[in-house]
A and B are shown apart, each in its own frame.
Chain A
């Protein structure tokens, strides 16, 4: 990674320029600088690649009225004139009704602006992909020699966000995100395996190590078995747990729950906060300071939503336990919503951690204790079927294995499942030690996850999928 600003006006100056030109009753400016390098491959050849430089500027303008505070926002990517953008935001505020999510703008914790606010954004390049590019040529050759085809993707993305406000906030944070994902397909696609790694820095990620994981899984599939649909005991590796738990995190809207339209609603306008979801003492949390999963420690949003507000920009984020001791502990609220409901505001940081405190078992330990069950690799095309139960449907993909008497005995056809992540917590037989995981389904939106392996009873495989 290198530092550089190119020909654009520096981000800190954009913030200052807008705040100086602002005629509004309050103003927030967000500049997100993005630098990305990516590499895609399939059929043992690199297919697409690229490097990209982007900048997004969002201006939030407030207007005080007799009935409350109206807000207008405008965003632009590229080298747009920031003052034009401000005028668009102010024009939107001029005609807007008072906002339901209005709250006083966040003020700095200390009077001194952050010393690094004037620092340039951090940039990446193809070099940010580390040894991945160099390792692929050899991996392709060795795969081709045994009739295997590799397909996958590597990406390094660095976001540098600058947030300033008329109340004196001057915040900057650098959030690098990387991943390497690959599928190995053998026997003309009849056998396949998937493996992936999420990391801040791809220098720590090697194609060779990923290929070993793929080869190991491919070897489990040499004996093919056919099984019917039905309810099975399953062992979910941390990546597959992330596939199911990310939608659980998304379902924690306080407003929806209070309005009676979520899985966490209770009759009579109440919510299920405090209710036990599992006999295991699971903790589900987001935490900007979690080791290895560090992320932006203040709230940044360019648009309000049902539980997130542009008024809360710059709000310090801290560890928030959504599930604690196996009980639903918190729901999401912006500050205005929290005040109305008499609760504390709560917002997600850009990570999600599921943990059973004290658990030490590995995936192998869980498999060893499985009398008969299915080991899954990852889940895919997950969509909500019924929000009232948070019933999700989706498919198993690139590796389902039958486990008997603690041993993997062969690979099995794929299934369509219909299952709720809320029930997953209650049906868990045991959980292992939490480790970094990458959800195949959701990693574009949430890369930073840490999950335990889970052994779960009565997982509903609704039908067989002949897909390979």
Chain B
């Protein structure tokens, strides 16, 4: 796929003047480190309900943020005023904040070394800039999708929406790195609902298409089979409505990548963030059971478990060329043969823990927020070579379920105890699928769950899932991230019935 050029409108902003003014002033004020980000984020939500437009919101965010390290303290300031005078004043403000907070700073801030990358530009892989597609065209496509579902028996309501984001970022720091990057991502979602008007009650079935680092072409069939998915959804919904409620107990589960990505996100992605493991998120996102003293020894899961972090995979939502501390994108091991071997890092924590270079996980979600350690694309490797297909994994289960699509999720603050539901759950009897059940949730503890992973599927089962809205930090920041994984087989996992859980 051909990379598209940087946006002329963004480049026409006074990037050089603002960057020079803010960094020159930061240097003059004696900062050890300063990094400035001028960002423009265009986002659009188009949402239809039963084929009628409900929401169309077009947003543009533009501003400049500056973080400095001054005499061992961080200082951050941001403004929406994009001119040289305001930029210089921003440096004074950031240094004043660093000075004001210095008396309560108990750990001198130092950053891991990173070479200067000079001037660099990069764009993510996409064909059609969603900002260039007329809103009416977007509405028409979602209308047509909604119509297909509404015209199917058993479908009472349809919601369809797409969120599209185009992020242009100009970054510069005192080491001489000056980067300009563009990231494009889209998240289309369609959900059908069946209502039992007489008895009360309802069921839903949602599309499985993951959010992707792609352009509008994704909705036109590039990278996802929308026609196939929309054609199958009503049948799956009708079957779910009439499906029996699940009998709780311990079962073998074959988990599809459309569900497993989220379990990876919660139980591995967040647990291997070193700022969390060191207690820097203790008041909010939480800590991690995977503490630093266990690096190299913790049995995270079975021997077939190999997990990497990367900022490099094509169409990955966390993929970039340089992070918000000027660190070059990398790929690195987190879990090898079931053992914890690495963490996600930013420059402060890499230096603090003596780990050498940062692996490039510092990001801010907007010009108004300070960079914090954010998740790379954390992915579970498939079996090498011609590993098992999903059917082969299913065939090795006597009594269990095949879990497809994500829905409800929750995990504790140390990343042990989790509970997930899904879009559809197929009964497996003696190696064969035997229809859907309803009301299923699986609940487990991280190391028990991954320790019970007996097999991972091959390359043919590997998919990239992900989310736009991973939350962390105070003030809250959201980040997009992808997780690749194969289908995988887990033995003896606790299955709950959600109706029984509610006491009904």
Chain A partners chain B: yes
- A190 CB to closest chain B CB (Å) equals 11
Total chain A interface residues with beta-carbon distance under 8 A: 102
Chain B: CB-nearest residue to A39: B101
Specify which of A47, A384, A416 is in contact with B408 (CB 8 Å cutoff): A384
Q: Which of B410-441 contact A (CB under 8 A)?
A: 410-417, 419, 421, 439, 441
Cα-based distance from A465 to B105 in the complex (angstroms) = 33
Cα-based distance from A467 to B202 in the complex (angstroms) = 35
- B201 CB to closest chain A CB (Å) equals 6
Specify which of A45, A53, A468 is in contact with B414 (CB 8 Å cutoff): A468
A151 at the interface (CB under 8 A from B): yes
Cα-based distance from A80 to B62 in the complex (angstroms) = 8
A165 at the interface (CB under 8 A from B): no
Of the stretches A12-20, A22-30, A301-309, the one at the interface is A301-309
Interface of chain A: mostly helix, strand, loop or mixed: strand
B282 touches A133 (CB 8 A): no
- A380 CB to closest chain B CB (Å) equals 6
A467 touches B503 (CB 8 A): no
Q: Which of A88-109 contact B (CB under 8 A)?
A: 88-89, 92, 95-97, 99-101
Q: Which of B97-128 contact A (CB under 8 A)?
A: 97-98, 100-101, 103-107
B58 touches A79 (CB 8 A): no
Mask, A37-62, CB within 8 Å of B = 1, is 01111111111111111110000000
Cα-based distance from A210 to B67 in the complex (angstroms) = 30
A40 touches B474 (CB 8 A): yes
- B34 CB to closest chain A CB (Å) equals 14
> Which residues of chain B are near A260, meaning CB under 8 Å?
156, 195-197, 200-202
A416 touches B419 (CB 8 A): yes
B61 touches A77 (CB 8 A): yes
B106 touches A54 (CB 8 A): no
B79 at the interface (CB under 8 A from A): yes
Interface of chain B: mostly helix, strand, loop or mixed: mixed
- A155 CB to closest chain B CB (Å) equals 6
A52 touches B200 (CB 8 A): no
> Which residues of chain B are near A95, meaning CB under 8 Å?
134-136
Specify which of A75, A97, A389, A467 is in contact with B60 (CB 8 Å cutoff): A75
Chain B: CB-nearest residue to A139: B104
A52 touches B78 (CB 8 A): yes
Chain B: CB-nearest residue to A40: B474
With A48-B74, A395-B413 as given contacts, are A76 and B60 in contact (CB-CB < 8 Å)?
yes
A383 touches B52 (CB 8 A): no
Mask, B50-91, CB within 8 Å of A = 1, is 001111111111110000000001111111111101100000
> Which residues of chain A are near B386, meaning CB under 8 Å?
none
Of the stretches A264-272, A278-286, A343-351, the one at the interface is A264-272
> Which residues of chain B are near A416, meaning CB under 8 Å?
410, 412, 417, 419, 443
> Which residues of chain A are near B104, meaning CB under 8 Å?
41, 45-46, 133, 136-137, 140
Specify which of B49, B56, B417, B474 is in contact with A96 (CB 8 Å cutoff): B56
B198 at the interface (CB under 8 A from A): yes
Interface residues on B, range: 35 or more
> Which residues of chain A are near B86, meaning CB under 8 Å?
6-7
B283 touches A96 (CB 8 A): no
Q: Which of B18-60 contact A (CB under 8 A)?
A: 45, 49, 52-60
B58 touches A73 (CB 8 A): yes
> Which residues of chain A are near B287, meaning CB under 8 Å?
189
Cα-based distance from A182 to B474 in the complex (angstroms) = 12
Cα-based distance from A100 to B106 in the complex (angstroms) = 57
- A152 CB to closest chain B CB (Å) equals 5
Cα-based distance from A140 to B372 in the complex (angstroms) = 22
B61 touches A182 (CB 8 A): no
Q: Which of A381-433 contact B (CB under 8 A)?
A: 381-389, 391, 393-395, 397, 414, 416, 418-420, 423
Specify which of A46, A77, A153, A467 is in contact with B416 (CB 8 Å cutoff): A467
Chain A: CB-nearest residue to B102: A46
- A115 CB to closest chain B CB (Å) equals 27
A304 touches B283 (CB 8 A): no
Total A-B residue contacts, Cβ distance less than 8 Å:
295
Of the stretches B214-222, B226-234, B273-281, B458-466, the one at the interface is B273-281
> Which residues of chain A are near B370, meaning CB under 8 Å?
48-50
B502 at the interface (CB under 8 A from A): yes
B443 touches A51 (CB 8 A): no
Chain B: CB-nearest residue to A101: B54
A420 touches B279 (CB 8 A): no
B409 at the interface (CB under 8 A from A): yes
A181 at the interface (CB under 8 A from B): yes
- A335 CB to closest chain B CB (Å) equals 15
> Which residues of chain A are near B199, meaning CB under 8 Å?
267
Specify which of B139, B410, B494, B504 is in contact with A395 (CB 8 Å cutoff): B410
Specify which of A96, A155, A259 is in contact with B195 (CB 8 Å cutoff): A259
Specify which of A51, A304, A305, A386 is in contact with B439 (CB 8 Å cutoff): A386
Of the candidates A97, A381, A397, the one having the most CB atoms from chain B within 10 angstroms of its own CB is: A381
A248 at the interface (CB under 8 A from B): no
Cα-based distance from A45 to B73 in the complex (angstroms) = 10
Of the candidates B52, B412, B475, the one having the most CB atoms from chain A within 10 angstroms of its own CB is: B412
A460 at the interface (CB under 8 A from B): yes
> Which residues of chain B are near A465, meaning CB under 8 Å?
412, 414, 416-417
B289 at the interface (CB under 8 A from A): yes
With A77-B63, A77-B80 as given contacts, are A467 and B280 in contact (CB-CB < 8 Å)?
no
Mask, A137-152, CB within 8 Å of B = 1, is 1001000100001011
A48 touches B76 (CB 8 A): yes
Cα-based distance from A144 to B56 in the complex (angstroms) = 52
B58 touches A391 (CB 8 A): no
A444 at the interface (CB under 8 A from B): yes
> Which residues of chain B are near A306, meaning CB under 8 Å?
49, 54
B193 at the interface (CB under 8 A from A): yes
B55 touches A466 (CB 8 A): no
Q: Which of A366-387 contact B (CB under 8 A)?
A: 380-387
Specify which of B58, B103, B201, B503 is in contact with A74 (CB 8 Å cutoff): B58
B278 touches A43 (CB 8 A): yes
B502 touches A268 (CB 8 A): no
- B43 CB to closest chain A CB (Å) equals 9
User: A7-B85, A267-B197, A385-B421 provided; 8 other pairs, C-beta below 8 A?
Assistant: A42-B281, A46-B104, A101-B54, A152-B283, A259-B157, A384-B408, A395-B410, A444-B475
Q: List 8 A-B contacts (CB under 8 A).
A: A43-B106, A45-B105, A48-B76, A50-B78, A72-B56, A76-B60, A185-B279, A423-B502
Interface residues of A (CB under 8 A from B): 6-8, 36, 38-55, 72-80, 88-89, 92, 95-97, 99-101, 126, 133, 136-137, 140, 144, 149, 151-153, 155, 181-183, 185, 189, 192, 194, 259-261, 265-269, 302-306, 380-389, 391, 393-395, 397, 414, 416, 418-420, 423, 444, 458, 460, 462-468
Interface residues of B (CB under 8 A from A): 45, 49, 52-63, 73-83, 85-86, 93, 97-98, 100-101, 103-107, 134-136, 139, 156-157, 193, 195-202, 278-284, 286-287, 289, 368-370, 372, 408-417, 419, 421, 439, 441, 443, 445, 473-476, 494, 496, 498-499, 501-504
